[in-house]
């Protein structure tokens, strides 16, 4: 039974910070690639950040230097620390878990950056 549960979304003012969490169960977490995607209103879903089991990270250019992805294998949780948030960061953020050839998605958590 695979579960991918996201939390931490909400409403924040421009320049503020949020930390998203994604807890995965039923998957060999330490051997999985963890990613965060987002989908803004009326736009296609895009990859925001990814981290491999070896700790290698990758970010979309628009969040480089502002967002940090990390993982805690003991807690089987991946995090997305979002600083200096901008209105264009507003989107539904989805956690993605990739184990071998299988991919799992979370339900999504809403992040709204507005005054």
pLDDT band for 17, please (50, 70, 90 cuts).
very high
Mean pLDDT of 45-59: 96
pLDDT band for 48, please (50, 70, 90 cuts).
very high
pLDDT of residue 4: 96
pLDDT of residue 82: 98
pLDDT of residue 102: 93
Taking the C-alpha atoms of residue 70 and residue 56, their distance in angstroms, rounded to an integer, is 10
pLDDT of residue 69: 98
pLDDT of residue 88: 97
Q: Which has the higher per-residue pLDDT, 101 or 35?
A: 35
Q: Which residues does 49 contact at the CB level (< 8 Å), separation at least 6?
A: 35, 36, 57, 58, 59, 60, 63, 67, 68, 69, 80
Look up residue 115 and give its two tokens.
Answer: 């005054």
């Amino acid at each position: 039974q695979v579960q991918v549960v996201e939390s931490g979304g909400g409403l924040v003012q421009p320049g503020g910070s949020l930390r998203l969490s994604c807890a995965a169960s039923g998957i060999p977490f330490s051997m999985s690639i963890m990613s965060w995607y987002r989908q803004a209103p009326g736009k296609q879903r895009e990859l925001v950040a990814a981290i491999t089991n070896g700790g290698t990270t990758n970010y979309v250019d628009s969040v480089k230097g502002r967002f940090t992805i990390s993982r805690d294998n003991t807690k089987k949780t991946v995090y997305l620390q979002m600083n200096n948030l901008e209105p264009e960061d507003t989107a539904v953020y989805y956690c993605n878990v990739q184990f071998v050839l299988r991919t799992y998605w979370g339900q999504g958590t809403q992040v709204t950056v507005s005054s």
